[in-house]
Amino acid sequence: MLKMMGITIQRNNFEPNQFNMKKLFLSGILCLFGILHLSAQANYSLEQLDLSTSGSNMNTYLMGINNNGFVCGFGVPVGTSDTIGFVITPEGKIIEINDNITGAGTLGIKAVSINDDNMVLVNYQDASGFSKLHKCLVNNDAVVSHSNIPGLQQNYVKAFHMNNKGDITGWYQSSLNRWLFVLHDGTPPAGFNAWQAWRYSVFTPPSTYNYFNTMGGAMDTNRIACGFYIDGSLNKPFLYDETYAAFYPLAGSNWCQPYGKNNNGKIVGHYKNSINITNAFVADPTYTQGNYNSGQLNLTSLAFIFHTDSIYSIARAINDSNEIVGYFLDPVDSKYKGFIYHPNRPTYKINGYDFAKHVWKMNNSSDAGSPNSTDSIWSENFYGSFDYTTTDPFANNGLPLLESFITNDTSITNYYPNSTFGDTNSVSWKEFMTEIVNSDTYLSYAQSSNPLLSNTYRYLYKPAKFRHYIHNYAGSFNGYCYGFAATSLLHFKDDQYLNNTYNIGTNTQLNSYDNTSFNAVLTIGQELSEAKRF
């Protein structure tokens, strides 16, 4: 087991039901916790995104990834056709794209692509059910600007990709057939209009053409697109060179649907394997320009990342580092879940993350399993070497902090596992202490010689504080790694905010803090409370 920034990472064989990544909104940061697959035979890592862990029963679809590490997609509540778009930043923050962006009454909001300018392509429907396109510029925190994309000449459009030149590709449904289209939101190539559409056709002697349903995927910056055409029950892949209006069918599979393409010639999508299951793939297609029968698919299945070829999976996008996003159908709960595949990277890393600077010192993090443990970051003896079961360090009245009217109060103990107080279960008493120390009540009541104020502290404030604290910190939510992870990522993402809120100090190396650091304890505890809320 490895413990990094409070995240437990287990080396094991991957099974979809084990691959559970929890999604927590922590101080505006999306923290991704999960099991990453590390194979002795393959040098790669894998992530899963399951929006259901946020409290809703969702299907999750990842659709795009750029060279900056931004990922986009959409979620669909199970049993509905509603959708909500999102972007995940390299630091793990989620940026929601909803009808506040696309307009009231809009439906089917999907973030389908993100280019290297961090421009997100959004496909949605207006109140009439007609397709519309929108673009959103995002940074590491939010949507910076957004606007509609004009120029669609069809009502039923499925857009899938926008490259760095503003070339938007996909397909639309006409009255009889489906057509590949390109909408140039930027500058079209010489001699082309902003809107272009094509179908693949085969000349059959003596003088007729057979036209096929033609589905467009992504287009690279050389204006070469991938896609497939439907010939009866067959789905045949192709490359399309827009500059020469040339289709190159790719031999090697009679049922293959490419969707994503990078600028190094690789394409991704899904195909049917020998047992008729649809699997994700990556391919290195080749062709000779001008020779329209020279195309070869050169497919490699991605079934190995799921350790079985019986898992339904689709790859939707690939960046120039060959990182791939898509989704698969979990056979355990029958929900779609997103995946991010990192080839040639055996460990998960957050871009720019520095463990020396951004991670809490872990030397005192182990819970030794008993109260007053000297090596536990959550030791009961944090404050003034008091044993809280025998002494209330704030009242200094010879009574324990855990008085009988508190330990017998079901409104308090019902929140606590087994109705038992102690560091070994869940509650961090030293964070509770720091919270009291910082309070005006402590200064006014606990240190007062006025018997009335002292009793107010003892009988009113102290149990009320216990109820508030235990409600937030105890119960089924265990594991202080969430507090560590939240503050570590917050230090990385918004160091100034962390300093302003907790007086940590900008550019402080969190490894310098230990279990006697007041600010560290307060920060971790408060972030744990934030994690508990979601």
* Residue 10: Cβ within 10 Å count: 12
pLDDT level of residue 532 (50, 70, 90 thresholds): low
Neighbouring residues of 205: CB distance < 8 A, sequence distance ≥ 6? none
Would you say residue 80 has pLDDT above 50? yes
Percent of the chain at pLDDT > 70 equals 74
Which residue did the predictor score with more confidence, 201 or 385?
201
Q: What is the pLDDT of residues 317-351, one digit of tens each?
A: 999 999 999 999 999 999 999 999 999 887 767 76
b/e sequence 330-353, b meaning 16+ C-beta within 10 Å: beeeebbbbbbbbbeeeebebeeb
pLDDT level of residue 359 (50, 70, 90 thresholds): confident
Q: What is the pLDDT of residues 48-60, one digit of tens each?
A: 998 886 557 889 9
Please tell me the predicted confidence (pLDDT) of residue 476.
Answer: 47
Q: Read off φ and ψ for residue 143, nearest 5 degrees.
A: -75, 120
Task: Measure Cα distances from 411 to 136, 407, 462, 476, 505 in Å.
Answer: 48, 10, 13, 16, 38
pLDDT level of residue 181 (50, 70, 90 thresholds): very high
Positive or negative CA dihedral for 443, 447, 452, 455?
Answer: positive
pLDDT level of residue 395 (50, 70, 90 thresholds): confident
Please tell me the predicted confidence (pLDDT) of residue 6.
Answer: 29
Please tell me the predicted confidence (pLDDT) of residue 160.
Answer: 96
Q: Give, as one character, the DSSP assignment of residue 255.
A: B
Q: What is the pLDDT of residues 487-526, one digit of tens each?
A: 888 888 788 888 888 888 888 888 887 666 777 777 877 7
Using the structure block, give the residue that is written with the tokens 């002292």.
454
Using the structure block, give the residue that is written with the tokens 């990834």.
65
Please tell me the predicted confidence (pLDDT) of residue 346.
Answer: 79
Neighbouring residues of 104: CB distance < 8 A, sequence distance ≥ 6? none
Distance CA 93, CA 143 (A): 12
Distance CA 53, CA 82 (A): 18
- Cβ–Cβ < 8 Å for 228, 199: no
Report which of 455, 461, 466 is spatially closest to residue 410, judged by C-alpha positions: 466
Please tell me the predicted confidence (pLDDT) of residue 25.
Answer: 27
* Residue 276: Cβ within 10 Å count: 7
Please tell me the predicted confidence (pLDDT) of residue 96.
Answer: 94
Instruction: Compute the C-alpha angle 293/298/302, nearest 5°.
Output: 145
Summarize the confidence of residues 134-141 as an average pLDDT: 94
Three-state DSSP state, 53 = helix
Q: What is the pLDDT of residues 446-489, one digit of tens each?
A: 556 666 677 777 888 788 877 776 666 554 445 567 777 888 88
- Which of 233-242, 373-382, 429-438 comes out lowest in average pLDDT? 373-382
* Residue 393: Cβ within 10 Å count: 16
Please tell me the predicted confidence (pLDDT) of residue 480.
Answer: 65
Q: What is the pLDDT of residues 277-328, one digit of tens each?
A: 999 999 999 999 999 999 999 999 999 999 899 999 999 999 999 999 999 9
Q: Give, as one character, the DSSP assignment of residue 374.
A: T
Please tell me the predicted confidence (pLDDT) of residue 533.
Answer: 47
Would you say residue 168 has pLDDT above 70? yes
> What's the start-to-end Cα distance of the chain, in Å?
26
The helix (H) or strand (E) run that includes residue 71 is strand 71-77
Write down the pTM of the prediction: 0.70
Report which of 392, 387, 419 is spatially closest to residue 403, judged by C-alpha positions: 392
Please tell me the predicted confidence (pLDDT) of residue 388.
Answer: 72
The overall average pLDDT reported for the chain is 80
Q: Report residue 42 CA to chain centroid gap.
A: 24
pLDDT winner (highest mean) among 127-131, 258-262, 432-436: 258-262
Domain residue spans of the chain? 150-321, 404-533
Report which of 258, 245, 253, 247 is spatially closest to residue 200, judged by C-alpha positions: 247
Report which of 8, 18, 14, 81 is spatially closest to residue 42, judged by C-alpha positions: 14
Please tell me the predicted confidence (pLDDT) of residue 478.
Answer: 53
Instruction: Compute the C-alpha angle 200/202/208, nearest 5°.
Output: 120
Q: Give the HSE-up count for residue 404: Cα atoms under 13 Å, Cβ half-sphere.
A: 0
Would you say residue 221 has pLDDT above 80? yes
